[in-house]
Amino acid sequence: MLFAGIDIGSLTAEAAIVENGRLIAAERIDVLPHPVDSARAVTDRLFATAGLRREQIAYTVSTGYGRDQVQAAGMAQENVSEISCHGFGAHCLLPAARTVVDIGGQDAKAIKLNAQGGLEDFVMNDKCAAGTGHFLELMSRALDISLEDLGRISRHAHRPIQVTSRCSVFVETEVLHFLQRGVPKADIAAGVNQAMASRVAALVRRIRPEAALVMTGGVAKNPAVRLELEKLLGLRVTPLEIDPQIVGAYGAARLAEARGVAK
């Protein structure tokens, strides 16, 4: 039996299919203006890639922004919060996981799990762009480099800048000021990544993190933020065997499997 998960984020949408607990296909796209359109587009691509039809899916769980709309449109039998889906997805991939840091485009979450992958505690930042993927997007744009290069070029930094502001708008002004002074982009990028990690670490400390620690979401692909977060928390980030951006959709699919089989 096949089960699917659909995760509509603020910047990207993901969908995944599992069979007997194994991920067999996943897709990711940039979001469209309406969550239902995003869900339809990403699942159309998913089924085409996997060579499957919608009718072959026994049960689907939607998550993320507009998850209730996706369910109401008949594309899912149930909707579950992205916190639970990222947590359960991380647990399925790494049963030892106790702390999950999920950094999306417009929010960041620190999730604490019990031994069964259930939610024990969580905190969330969704009021300010600082500490989210959007913050890094703004900074990479100011530096005129790709989001992927923002993490990579930090390795070549000699004197990382100190970011003094906590507001993304003011940090962008700081970045432009450093560029005008001729500060190397690598030093600026390193300072930006350190500031990002510092804000996320402050969020994570509120749940008293424990090993094993994992990261999900697009920012998990930024090696500079990941390494700095390890230093600040004193915990190693354990890599997952799948793309960290699809963990929410994978978790939704695994929940669909558990609930669909039970029904």
Domain boundaries, the chain: 1-94+241-263, 97-239
3-state helix/strand/coil string of 112-147: EECCCCCEEEEEEECCCCCCCHHHHHHHHHHHCCCH
> Rounded to an integer, what is the distance from CA 28 to the centroid of its chain?
12
Decide: helix, strand or coil at residue 25: strand
Q: pLDDT tens, position by position, for the chain (263 residues)?
A: 999 999 999 889 999 999 999 999 999 999 999 999 999 999 999 999 999 999 999 999 999 988 999 999 999 999 999 999 999 999 999 999 999 999 988 889 999 999 999 999 999 986 677 778 888 999 999 999 998 899 999 999 999 999 887 777 788 889 999 999 999 999 999 999 999 999 999 999 999 999 999 999 999 999 999 999 999 999 999 999 999 999 999 999 999 999 877 66
pLDDT for 126 equals 65
CATH number belonging to domain 1-94+241-263: 3.30.420.40
CATH number belonging to domain 97-239: 3.30.420.40
pLDDT for 262 equals 61
In angstroms, the CA 258 to CA 77 distance is 13
Beta-strand relationship, 57-64 and 78-79: parallel
pLDDT for 169 equals 75
- 1-94+241-263 with 97-239: one CATH topology? yes
Sheet holding 22-30, edge to edge: 22-30, 12-19, 2-8, 57-64, 78-79
Supply the pTM of this predicted model. 0.92
Contacts of 181 (CB under 8 A, 6+ apart): none
